[in-house]
Structure 1
Amino acid sequence: MQFPESWLRSFCNPPLSTQALADTLTMGGFEVESLRPVAPPFTRIVVGEIRQAQQHPNADRLRVCQVDAGQGALLNIVCGAPNARVGIKVPCALVGAELPPGEDGKPFVIKVGKLRGVESQGMLCSARELGLSDDHGGLLELAAGLPVGQDLRAALQLDDTVFELKLTPNLGHALSVYGVARELAALTGAPLQTPAIAPVPASMAELLPVTVSAPDLCGRFSGRVIRHVDTRAATPAWMVDRLARCGQRSVTALVDISNYVMFEYGRPSHIFDLDKIHGGLDVRWGRKGEQLKLLNGNTVELDESVGVIADAQAVESLAGIMGGDATAVSDDTQSIYVEAAFWWPDAVAGRSRRYNFATDAGHRFERGVDPSLTVAHIERITQLIIDICGTPQTQCGPIDDQQPKLPAPAPVTLRVARAAKVIGMPLTQAQCANVMRRLGLAFVEGEGTVTVAPPAYRFDLRIEEDLIEEVARIIGYQQLPETAPLAPIVPRTRSESRRSAFDVRHALADLGYLETINFSFVDEAWERDLAGNADPVRLLNPIASQMNVMRSSLLGSLLDVLKHNVDRRASRLRVFEVGRVFLRDASVTTTDHSVRGVNQPLRVAGLIHGPAQRQGWGGVERPADFYDAKGDVQALLAPRPARFERAEHPALHPGRCASVAVDGQLIGHVGELHPRWRQAWGLSHAPVLFELDLQAVLQRPMPVLAALPRQLPVERDLAVVVAEGVTHEQLQQCVRGAAVGARLLDVTLFDIYRPKPGTETAAGMAAGEKSMALRLVLDDAEGQSLTDERIDAAVGAVLAALQAQLGARLRA
């Protein structure tokens, strides 16, 4: 919100400089984001009146003007503006005047000069030359009532400052100049000037029939008929200037009056063309299938969740947000209906965003607008309409005021002891009562308490903490004592058996991965296709239509990063992300770090795409495959051994996907992207992905001290014939479970042999069999030497276990 300082000081004028005033507002909770002068610096520019304007003798586009600038004699000034004519008042830069600095940063100084042989004793200025606007179509025409020779800065109040406030959503009562002034009076103790709004007597009895069918939409509806107005009347310059300094351009007199009162008192209103209303008005909820063409030209589809104002034939306005085009006032309008209503904040909040636009009216109504002053503000608007657009025939009807359901805020009690504890400084009941008195709040004192009845304009006063905040900011945050914390500071030492998430990030970076950070809200199609999640956690107010659910997997985010880079011709990519996923879980309760019904575990995921290694002098590039990602997962989990078993995952290839388990617990999956999704994402070849539970990855077993063996270990190779369906994991489990009578240090598969079809018999094998060669590494737990007898017995025990459990036989 922005406004000129002069308008604020017309309501409350404390003896503070501009900067001190801004600091006071900021420390009071109304952050002043910027201070901007209304006009750049310039000097010796006065109000001038053109008395004569003749064609230049030597130039078709120049005129020689005789200008009265209050200097006693007329000034001879050559001007090329198309609107330079007799009788208008314009800015006149005298000789020696300094205009605003140009692109070089230096001011432009006016001197006596000659243009095409005619002497020019000054310069007539446009708005752009003075830095007031970008308009350079002609001279800036001033109001006819300004005195000739008056300094332009004083005539147009250019020594003013525009305040721009950054207000939090709970400060709806400060979305007006008067609202800010009311808070400034409470902060400084300066008197608040509240202009009396005199009622405009009715000169006719006409009323427009209005029915409020939805009290849960509209709590109060006030309106008045005004006939015979001049809608072509010009908006006064003072109103145009104030609106411009609030960031609002002038439209027409009626629209400007409505906007002016909104910025003045914070109440949006709407003016209908009375002759375009069919029958009466009905304030109700919309209906499915209804449409409305708005003032901005958009046509919107309505439903039962949107409030409207309708007449007997169609919908005419979007309640609390924007009027309709059908009943908009125009230059031909003669009779109007002025409306001011109280719309419930919950009935307006979020509706304009649904249609991808925002309005000043909706911004205010969804935060709460004072319902007690609808009639007074209609009186204010009526008086301005009569003053600016009135004619001798103008007539006003009585105000129709309907109050179906007004808010009734409950009293809020402040405990003085509680306030002192929360704020952290000694407080007395008298101090708290004085704060409420300065804010203009009605209150009753009890024993150690102050009970406040929130006024109609304060929708933010609902609980005790709200009053505590008022006490703190009015007393002044700068008054809080600086005290050292009393709680002992005990450093939290992480167990050595657990590493940090940064250690995991560094480990992946060492493996050649780059970290990505992505949104936690994703496209619902990703959840359905890549995570098999038919019921994701939905967002009530998504920032974009394609980001409407919370992710339950990190894979979609990594694929999106891959697609972005592949589209930019990246040939090799290794990326990872550490982040939260969001899963529905009825067992989760609400705590300081959790939300009821939603489990939020941390996961780590990675993606490999393109060659396994960058191309070297050898010229051979091997594409990355499942085993590259598997090796990275093993390195990430080391020294804990991981177990990989064939599995299925919605996002991964059914024959190239494995589950990852550590200590018998499933912690994730690794595999190649499913061909269906590779084609859908437009990828030339499939990437390999993995996703693991971060808590399991963070576990790190402590090393155990052991004496170095005194004897070298013994290696024995063993080739067995097994059925084609026997897996490496089954072989490992069988060998490690055998009672070998020695310590088995390692089992490695180093060869798999399958004879060509038709040669099985020659190889001593049958169809459907394969040979798997193992290398056993043995030693003695006590450090003794292993004899041949013990080694042969160990190998025999392994063979016996393989034969008994897997039907294996020693290969001939």
Structure 2
Amino acid sequence: MQFPESWLREFCNPPLNTQELAELLTMSGMEVEEVRPVAPPFHGIVVAEILTAEQHPQADRLRVCTVDAGAFSKDGPLQIVCGAPNARVGIKVPLATVGAELPPGDDGKPFKIGVGKLRGVESRGMLCSARELKIADDHGGLLELAADAPVGTDIRQWLQLDDHLFTLKLTPNLGHGLSVFGVAREVAALTGAPLRQPAFPPVQPRSDRVLPVEVQAADLCGRFSGRVVLGVNTQAKTPAWMVDRLARCGQRSVSALVDISNYVMFEYGRPSHIFDLDKIHEKLVVRWGREGEQLKLLNGNTIALDEKVGVIADAQGVESLAGIMGGDATAVNDGTQNVYVEAAFWWPEAVAGRSRRYNFSTDAGHRFERGVDPQGTVEHIERITQLILDICGTPATACGPVTDQVLGLPECKPVTMRVARAAQVIGMPVSTAQCADVFTRLGLAHSEAGGVFTVTPPSWRFDLQIEEDLIEEVARVVGFNSLPMTAPIAPVTPRVRREAQRGAHAVRRALAALDYQETINFSFVEERWERELAGNADPIRVLNPIAAPLAVMRSSLMGSLVQALRNNLSRKAPRVRVFEIGRVFMRDAAATDGPLSVAGVNQPMRVGGLAWGGALPLQWGAKEQGADFFDVKGDLQALLAPQQPVFTAAEHPALHPGRCASILLDGRVVGFVGELHPKWRQAYEIPAFQGQAPVLFELELAAVLGQPLPVFTALSRQQAVQRDLALVVREDVSHDALMAALQQDPQGLVRKARLFDIYKPAAPVAGLQAGERSLAVRLELRDDESTLTDERIEATVAAAVARAAAAVGARLRA
């Protein structure tokens, strides 16, 4: 909501300056988003009248003008050279006199006017356009002023350029503030300054013509008022004062009739519509739309209607979208002679959301879906009628009587408020007298008995429904600045994490230390990602997606990470290592409603990551090679330390079979890691880096947060013994199975078993058969109580080899 300060002060002029007024509105709940001057600073520019305009002798596009500038042309008319195409005798325009300063240019410096010569002809000043004064974007010619503008008057004074524009950021419950009068009414209540109540003297009908109106849907329209006006001059020019006020409200001038309708909407918050009466067939019918009907709107769009959209129709078809926008078929134009003025009350529930169905919004719909005062339809038609007569009237203009149908208006249900409860919620003592004064200033009818107020909301306050609404009114009128600084009474007890659990920020820092960068993505994703990368054929759908592709909720982070990689590659990123901590959404019949849960939906937190490009940043000390499965596996081991994850071969819809592993902690699968599947790499157009595909991982965040506490173990006084073994095993024997067999020593002497070499010859050799390989393993043996003897060492090693032979078929290499 944007409006000029001067218009507001015509209704209510409190003893406050501009900044104090803005602060008052903000602290009352009507946030002032911006206050800016109508025009930038300049001086020395006055109203001047062009007396003569002759062709320049040396330039086709220049004219030599003589102008009267009042007191600034004591020695006779001033000679000005001007190149504007509309420079002509008789018009009044802004003149920058010698010594004047125009608004600063792009360099930030003001432009000073002096005596100059253009093609040999002296010019003692400069005639200005609106753009040169920076009060409008029009630069097609000089700014033409009203014929009654006094010559020699400062242009800032004549055009009220010292005014300020207020931009309010109103919440949906403040529909009564969507007009200049509505804001003035609030200012009067907040400051006690007098409010100028508008008068709407009825216009006497000079015709008995009426247009029949049939309201078939009382749940769409609660009141419908209208009037016929005959013999209007639609080619009349909108007065400059109205054009300026509309422009300062952010509304461009269209035509006199449209401007009048818009002016009253900004003035009193009353959207209205003016029909071309001669284009209406027989009558108007207010009803719900019907399946298959279409309507061409004033904005040129043709929309399909259904039974959920309100319309105004005539005997032949639909004419306008009820409460939102008029139709093209009955629009007024230069040929219009007779009009029908309509002002109605549309139920907010019948208008809300309708314009968004068709991807546009209007000022009328914005107001009606928040609630417009149903009591002022007739008075505002009188106001519109008088403006039409003043601006578009002719001797033949005649208006008919106002017709007013009231079908059902909102019930103003009384709301009670306890003074003691108000004091408790506000946090400061408030008296009965204070509350009564607040309600009186706000125009709320009330009564009081035993410290309990019964308030009947006025017709323009749709937001007063419960006790807390009245308490809010008391608080904001008394003033939020009046609230004392009071410490909270309730004990504030922070939730302390267990020592064996770290926070999500610690996980972020750990991943950042591993050279990953965090990315934040939407929780709603493309359905294709869910189907292909998560194997989810039935994802949870979004009822009202912000974009058509983002139609489902994600059940995996991998789709978001792959898209982040694609975005980076499209911008020629040479190396991408990203991670995300976010929530996923999966159907789960066992999930119940709770403070942080929704029935039927499981919403766990996950941590996922992706690595593509060099394993290390480009450097001289190491050969560049792509990050592979084992690089990311090492990152995961570092992330999960001191927990010891186990990686076992697995399958995942997004990952390469045979190059994918599940991640187990304490025997439970907590995530997956692996290369992106080749078919998805091709489908999503992701190149390999030196033949290496992107590597992804995804884990349950709860598992990553676990961090077992360290347990003290005394250093052994005994020396460890190391023995190296070369064991021959089949190629299908896993590393983990072999290590487990070697370390399962019942005597506890085998403390560690580490693989340090693999030998698989290209051709058969003695001691190795086809399909076998030799694994070199180092055993570390130690007894904390006594020194190991050679006999015990040999026996322990022989027992370890025997266990490996029994478990995986291993044998010592000859």
Verify the 8 A CA contact 2:261 2:271 in the aligned structure 1. yes
For residues 562-606 of structure 1, the C-alpha deviation after alignment (integer angstroms, 9 at most, x for no partner) is: 111212222322111222333344555555544555443322111
Question: What secondary structure sits across from 1:142 in the alignment?
Answer: coil
Matched, 1:379 2:382: yes
2:747 corresponds to which residue? 741
Q: Which amino acid aligns with 2:64?
A: R
Superposed, 1:541-580 pairs within 5 Å as: 541-580=544-583
Name the CA distance, whole Å, in 1 between partners of 2:622 and 2:109: 63
Are the structure 2 counterparts of residues 524 and 411 from structure 1 closer, same or farther at C-alpha, using a change threshold of 3 Å? farther
Name the CA distance, whole Å, in 1 between partners of 2:102 and 2:94: 11
Verify the 8 A CA contact 1:78 1:115 in the aligned structure 2. no
Count of equivalent residues: 807
Structure 1 residue aligned with 2:467, among 464, 467, 482?
A: 464
**1:682 shift after superposition:** 0.2
Verify the 8 A CA contact 1:740 1:793 in the aligned structure 2. no
1:423 corresponds to which residue? 426
1:294 corresponds to which residue? 297
2:787 corresponds to which residue? 785
For residues 520-549 of structure 1, the C-alpha deviation after alignment (integer angstroms, 9 at most, x for no partner) is: 333233223222334444444433333343
Verify the 8 A CA contact 1:320 1:365 in the aligned structure 2. yes
Are the structure 2 counterparts of residues 664 and 168 from structure 1 closer, same or farther at C-alpha, using a change threshold of 3 Å? same
Matched, 1:505 2:512: no
Name the CA distance, whole Å, in 1 between partners of 2:473 and 2:372: 19
1:710 corresponds to which residue? 717
Are the structure 2 counterparts of residues 356 and 414 from structure 1 closer, same or farther at C-alpha, using a change threshold of 3 Å? same
Name the CA distance, whole Å, in 2 between partners of 1:773 and 1:305: 77
**1:769 shift after superposition:** 6.2
**1:726 shift after superposition:** 4.3
Superposed, 1:605-620 pairs within 5 Å as: 605-614=608-617, 616-617=619-620, 620=623
Superposed, 1:141-160 pairs within 5 Å as: 141-160=144-163
Q: Which amino acid aligns with 2:222?
A: G
2:70 corresponds to which residue? 69
Verify the 8 A CA contact 2:81 2:118 in the aligned structure 1. no
Are the structure 2 counterparts of residues 629 and 52 from structure 1 closer, same or farther at C-alpha, using a change threshold of 3 Å? closer
1:368 corresponds to which residue? 371
1:40 corresponds to which residue? 40
Matched, 1:654 2:661: no
Verify the 8 A CA contact 2:419 2:451 in the aligned structure 1. yes
1:669 corresponds to which residue? 672
Verify the 8 A CA contact 1:609 1:688 in the aligned structure 2. yes
For residues 36-72 of structure 1, the C-alpha deviation after alignment (integer angstroms, 9 at most, x for no partner) is: 2223344454433334444556665323425262667
Verify the 8 A CA contact 1:68 1:74 in the aligned structure 2. no
Verify the 8 A CA contact 1:551 1:581 in the aligned structure 2. yes
Matched, 1:222 2:225: yes
Structure 2 residue aligned with 1:691, among 692, 698, 718?
A: 698
Are the structure 2 counterparts of residues 198 and 32 from structure 1 closer, same or farther at C-alpha, using a change threshold of 3 Å? same
Verify the 8 A CA contact 1:348 1:365 in the aligned structure 2. yes
**1:184 shift after superposition:** 0.3
For residues 624-662 of structure 1, the C-alpha deviation after alignment (integer angstroms, 9 at most, x for no partner) is: 222222221111111111122222222222332222121
1:388 corresponds to which residue? 391
2:338 corresponds to which residue? 335
Are the structure 2 counterparts of residues 246 and 802 from structure 1 closer, same or farther at C-alpha, using a change threshold of 3 Å? same
Question: What secondary structure sits across from 2:699 in the alignment?
Answer: strand
Are the structure 2 counterparts of residues 787 and 111 from structure 1 closer, same or farther at C-alpha, using a change threshold of 3 Å? closer
Are the structure 2 counterparts of residues 211 and 656 from structure 1 closer, same or farther at C-alpha, using a change threshold of 3 Å? farther
Are the structure 2 counterparts of residues 531 and 209 from structure 1 closer, same or farther at C-alpha, using a change threshold of 3 Å? farther
Question: What secondary structure sits across from 2:787 in the alignment?
Answer: coil
Q: TM-score, normalised by structure 2?
A: 0.90
**Structure 1 gaps, min length 5:** none
**1:73 shift after superposition:** 7.0
Verify the 8 A CA contact 1:56 1:64 in the aligned structure 2. no
Are the structure 2 counterparts of residues 747 and 299 from structure 1 closer, same or farther at C-alpha, using a change threshold of 3 Å? farther
Deviates more, 1:462-471 or 1:673-682: 462-471
**Structure 2 gaps, min length 5:** none
Name the CA distance, whole Å, in 2 between partners of 1:284 and 1:291: 14
**1:181 shift after superposition:** 0.3
Question: What secondary structure sits across from 1:432 in the alignment?
Answer: helix
For residues 762-785 of structure 1, the C-alpha deviation after alignment (integer angstroms, 9 at most, x for no partner) is: 6475x76666665443323x4323
Are the structure 2 counterparts of residues 610 and 327 from structure 1 closer, same or farther at C-alpha, using a change threshold of 3 Å? same
Question: What secondary structure sits across from 2:550 in the alignment?
Answer: coil
Deviates more, 1:718-727 or 1:480-489: 718-727
Are the structure 2 counterparts of residues 338 and 597 from structure 1 closer, same or farther at C-alpha, using a change threshold of 3 Å? farther
Verify the 8 A CA contact 1:50 1:68 in the aligned structure 2. no
**1:609 shift after superposition:** 0.8
For residues 253-300 of structure 1, the C-alpha deviation after alignment (integer angstroms, 9 at most, x for no partner) is: 011011101100112222222233344444344444544332222333
Q: Percentage identity across aligned positions?
A: 67
Superposed, 1:716-731 pairs within 5 Å as: 716-717=723-724, 725-731=732-738
**1:231 shift after superposition:** 0.9
Q: TM-score, normalised by structure 1?
A: 0.91
Q: Which amino acid aligns with 2:36?
A: R
Q: Which amino acid aligns with 1:181?
A: A
Verify the 8 A CA contact 2:81 2:122 in the aligned structure 1. no
**1:362 shift after superposition:** 2.3
Verify the 8 A CA contact 2:417 2:467 in the aligned structure 1. yes
Matched, 1:445 2:451: no
**1:684 shift after superposition:** 1.4
Are the structure 2 counterparts of residues 306 and 522 from structure 1 closer, same or farther at C-alpha, using a change threshold of 3 Å? farther
For residues 722-742 of structure 1, the C-alpha deviation after alignment (integer angstroms, 9 at most, x for no partner) is: 665543444445555x45322
Q: Which amino acid aligns with 2:750?
A: L
Deviates more, 1:594-603 or 1:116-125: 116-125
For residues 312-351 of structure 1, the C-alpha deviation after alignment (integer angstroms, 9 at most, x for no partner) is: 4443323332222222211111222222233333433333
For residues 68-122 of structure 1, the C-alpha deviation after alignment (integer angstroms, 9 at most, x for no partner) is: 6266775233342433333333334455544444456555555566666766555
